A = this chain, B = another copy of it.
């Protein structure tokens, strides 16, 4: 297995063993791909990357593993408006660039992670979550905040 972020290896070892899941080549390869990129990869893109290092892997395993990783909270799944799901590893609490929101170009599909204003946002969201969960008796697990529009390049082209 190629060397990825050591933290990720520990994390996956830890979580997988902990829950009784087996640490297979496919799962390691998929985690490795996700921990090495800052992009928001589709299942197919992940499949292609994994394939380079571990050519016998299959699409169904990629989907199955991604679903598991999302359930375990290790990976986040997003929809940015091009009809496919996109995946991003959770970088945890240790970096301070951990939690971020997204800026999405509706023309070229470019996605920017931004953390500007994040403190104000997080604070308001926390407050809102508290209020909403009380009023609607809802157990809130996560939120999604995305801004859509035209990026620098697409804006000037038209």
The chain A residues found within 8 Å of chain B, CB to CB, are 79, 103, 105-106, 112, 114, 116-117, 120-121, 124, 127-129, 131-133, 135-152, 155
Contact = CB atoms under 8 A, between A and B. Distances in A.
Contacts of A136: 103, 112, 114, 151-152
A104 to B, nearest CB: 9
Nearest to A146: B144
Tell me how many chains of this kind the complex includes: 2
A68 to B, nearest CB: 16
Nearest to A150: B139
Contacts of A146: 143-144
B151 A147 contact: no
Given A142-B148, A149-B142, A150-B138, A117 B127 contact: yes
Contacts of A155: 137-139
A132 B106 contact: no
Contacts of A131: 116-117
A150 B141 contact: yes
Contacts of A147: 128-129, 132, 138, 140, 142-143
